Amino acid sequence: MTAFGRVIAVSLMLIGMAGAYVAPASAQEPKRPLRLLVPSPPGGPSDFAARLVAPKLSEALGQNVVVDNRQSVNGILATEIAAKSPGDGNTLLIGNIGTMVMNTGLYRSLPYDPLRDFVPITQLVSAGTALVASPKFGPKSFRELVTAAKKDPGRINIAVAGANGAVATEVLKHAAGIRLNNIPYKGSSPSEVAVMSGEVEVALLSIPVITPHIKAGRMKVYGVTTAKRSPMLPEVPTMQEQGLEGYEFGNWHALLAPKGTPDRVVRTVHREAVRILESRETRDIVAARGNEIIANTPEEFAARLKRDIPRYRKIMAEAGIQPQ
């Protein structure tokens, strides 16, 4: 081999070595951000659930988790976006009892199917709701509210936030034999403002959300929708105590992924989410807010969806709720 040939051979060898070096470096490029879709505006219960896990989930996965709030009536927009996203492990959804259960009985045709289009990961937290009123509103008790509503049917405005709120409102009206004027809002936060300002007279809202407003005198409360009295509002009677037998409504918030998401991704996210929920720091935050941790398995969550969807459809039908 001539001297020139040896130079060429060495040069080619060095180029090959450089290529071999570059390949693993490119494999270490940062992962794409993981989008966590939320069906309500910042500040609401679903947003709380998202931000409860997002920072530590980002650390555990080595992947930036971006909370993407897409508010709409009954949370349909964010849920539809998630349903139509590729199952590549870069999209997650915060679902709740409204978007994943109640909407199936409220609409004849949804742009998503809760059972077909998603992979359940875990339910995160749950909380009860309460019937609250503007401090400017006259009735001092639930009984007085019923009397006022029967005296002037349809005059009293009730804020309706999400599908769960819509169903709980209709069942309440049916059980109490009253007519209220539904005013829909895109999430819990706008409904809170509407009640405090007197834009509407009453609303069914999450107990953790309304408790500070009750204590500050910005709202008053008529009753809680849980089976037992809430530890956050122990002096407030349940709706069942006030004559609405069997009236019990709450809300849960959960993690789901689009269909086709690899099982290894689902299992990894589930493992890390449960680890986050079981930490002392998270437990303290959840307890202080009056929520309860669920942290079930993907299989348990899937079974609950399959059980609750027909159950609540029956409740809605018995209350005379017709799908739109």
Q: What is the pLDDT of residue 30?
A: 62
Average pLDDT, the chain: 89
218 within a domain of the structure (yes/no): yes
End position of a domain, from candidates 180, 206, 224:
224
92 within a domain of the structure (yes/no): yes
Span 116-175, pLDDT tens digits = 999 999 999 998 899 999 999 999 999 999 999 999 999 999 999 888 888 999 999 998
61 and 112: one domain?
Answer: yes
Domain CATH code at residue 198: 3.40.190.10
Q: How many domains does the chain have?
A: 2
| pLDDT, mean of residues 15-39 | 61
149 and 194: one domain?
Answer: yes
End position of a domain, from candidates 170, 189, 224:
224
Q: What is the pLDDT of residue 86?
A: 97
Span 272-324, pLDDT tens digits = 999 999 999 999 999 888 888 999 999 999 999 999 999 889 888 888 888 88
16 within a domain of the structure (yes/no): no
| pLDDT, mean of residues 237-245 | 93
287 and 215: one domain?
Answer: no
Span 180-235, pLDDT tens digits = 999 999 888 899 999 999 999 999 999 988 999 999 999 999 999 988 888 899 99
pLDDT at 110 over 50: yes
162 within a domain of the structure (yes/no): yes
102 and 144: one domain?
Answer: no
Query: Which backbone phi and psi does 22 adopt, to 5 degrees?
Result: -65, -35
Q: Contact 18/165 with Cβ under 8 angstroms?
A: no
111 and 255: one domain?
Answer: yes
97 and 177: one domain?
Answer: no
18 within a domain of the structure (yes/no): no
Range of the domain at 168: 128-224
Residue whose tokens read 């349809």: 154
Cα-based torsion angle of the residue sequence 200, 201, 204, 210 in order, rounded to the nearest 10 degrees: 90
17 within a domain of the structure (yes/no): no
264 and 291: one domain?
Answer: yes
113 and 136: one domain?
Answer: no
pLDDT at 24 over 50: no
What is the spatial distance between Cα 187 and Cα 165, in angstroms, rounded to a whole number? 10
Percent of the chain with pLDDT over 90: 70
117 and 146: one domain?
Answer: no
121 and 259: one domain?
Answer: yes
> How sure is the predictor about 20, in pLDDT bands with cuts at 50, 70 and 90?
very low
Domain CATH code at residue 119: 3.40.190.150
323 within a domain of the structure (yes/no): no
Q: What is the pLDDT of residue 288?
A: 86
Greatest CA separation for the chain: 108
230 within a domain of the structure (yes/no): no
> How sure is the predictor about 96, in pLDDT bands with cuts at 50, 70 and 90?
very high
Q: What is the pLDDT of residue 137?
A: 97
pLDDT at 16 over 70: no
112 and 79: one domain?
Answer: yes
pLDDT at 62 over 60: yes
> In whole angstroms, how far apart are CA 235 and each of 128, 209, 224?
15, 17, 10
Span 257-277, pLDDT tens digits = 999 999 999 999 999 999 999
Q: How many CB atoms lie within 10 A of CB 235?
A: 7
End position of a domain, from candidates 209, 224, 239:
224
132 and 271: one domain?
Answer: no
How far does Cα 139 stand from its chain's mean position? 31
